Amino acid sequence: MKIIFWTSLLGVVYAYFLYPALLAVLARLAARPRLPVPASEQGPQTVSMVIPVHNEERVLPAKLDNLAALDYPPDRLQVVFVSDGSTDGTLKLLHDAAPNLPFRLSVVEVPERAGKAHALNTGLEAADGRIIVFTDASILLEPGAVSALLRPFADPRVGCVSGEDHIAGGAGEGLYGRYELYLRNQESAVASIVGASGSFYAQRRDLVQPFQPGLAPDFLSVLNTVEQGYRALTEPAARGHMTAVARPEQEFQRKVRTLLRGIATLFAKPALLNPLRYGRFAWLLLSHKLVRWLVPFMLIAAILSNLALADRGGYGVLLALQIGFYALAALAYRGVAGLQDTAPGRVALFFVMVNAAILVAWIRYLKGERQELWTPSERSVIKGAP
């Protein structure tokens, strides 16, 4: 039981603390820089931005204004909106707006909902840019975001670049987002990121492969890029902003859906976990994804083995600490004594919520469930330009 307890505890500590620490050291001592490219050899690429939408009439006016304010040359920018079975005023709004926009707008209608993979593949058929930018309707980009996102492509070894999505409000989602941005920046320096921001990233057109139903498009794009021998990086200057999901239960369900697609994607590309072939990236993928996704099972093993050891030495104290941590998360969730507004309460609630979502996603995955249809997360519209 002692071996089970300490092994489980070490696995949790590795996933959330030791791995980021090792990344930081490796990024400092053995970073892989981008190739410098003379300014004279750089120039604006032709870009196609693909945006799948479903009943997003509410957020589209702000999104269109935001796209019109980008500093990227409008004659080099094509924006492709794909309506996946929208039943509100989405299509009319887009068609009415098209003549007044500085860039070329293409509107593609999928009459009946077919899912995100189908929507993206349909959008790609209409896209003619050398770089494909994938983004969501709910994120508002800073004026220089697209220009910044494309700069790393000056290095011919770079095949995919992720932007940064900054989330306003929402203790859990915002905290998780900042943690992921930190890991992504370190992984980018070490080798390649293991997942892009699903709301804002780009890929070379000749590296884009058809998206597959039930798999996470952003994660799949990164894995396809590395599989073809290119790097996937993050660009901190390519920033977008969105508000947090409106309600905690929505955030939980969104997380489950995202994790279910992520697990399915990883097991669709298991060869990338081979360090003999993919070197550092295999370690990054194993640590950031698979080990992290095994943490719920480690937590269960840790508390069950701790229960069996409770009457030995200091194990009773360790058990009390575990129970106290989960109790703190439960009280924060219930809003008792304002705990959800304190740092300890937010951390405990975030940690428990994320790992509960991972566990639910595993159960659904092992039952053979897959997630393809999507309902855009309910987020408030950001007032004003970023």
* pLDDT for position 372: 72
Q: Report the C-alpha gap between 234 and 218 in whole angstroms.
A: 13
CA 299, distance to chain mean position in Å, is: 24
Average pLDDT, rounded, for the chain: 90
Residues 191 and 32: beta-carbon distance below 8 Å: yes
Position 301 in a domain? no
Position 277 in a domain? no
Considering its fold, how many domains does the chain have in total? 1
Q: Is pLDDT above 70 for 6? A: yes
3-class SS of residue 72: coil
143-192 pLDDT per residue, tens = 999 999 999 999 999 999 999 988 765 555 556 778 888 999 999 999 99
Position 334 in a domain? no
* pLDDT for position 347: 85
Q: Report the C-alpha gap between 133 and 189 in whole angstroms.
A: 22
Q: Report the C-alpha gap between 105 and 173 in whole angstroms.
A: 32
Mean pLDDT of 119-129: 96
Position 13 in a domain? no
Position 115 in a domain? yes
CA proximity to 79, closest of 111, 102, 113, 45: 102
% pLDDT > 90, the chain: 74
97-112 pLDDT per residue, tens = 999 999 999 999 999 8
Position 11 in a domain? no
Position 166 in a domain? yes
Q: Is pLDDT above 80 for 299? A: yes
Position 19 in a domain? no
206-239 pLDDT per residue, tens = 999 999 999 999 999 999 999 999 999 999 999 9
Whose tokens are 């950031």? That residue is 288
250-272 pLDDT per residue, tens = 778 888 999 999 999 999 999 99
The domain containing residue 113 runs over which residues? Answer: 42-245
- The more confidently predicted of residues 79 and 112 is 79
CATH of the domain at 68: 3.90.550.10
Q: CB within 8 A of 308, min separation 6: which ones?
A: 1
* pLDDT for position 234: 95
Give the pair of three-digit tokens for residue 49. 């931005």
* pLDDT for position 34: 73
* pLDDT for position 170: 52
* This prediction's pTM: 0.91
Q: CB within 8 A of 89, min separation 6: which ones?
A: 57
* pLDDT for position 173: 53
* pLDDT for position 40: 45
Q: Is pLDDT above 60 for 339? A: yes
> Predicted confidence band at 377 (pLDDT cuts at 50, 70, 90)?
low
Give the pair of three-digit tokens for residue 198. 């699903």
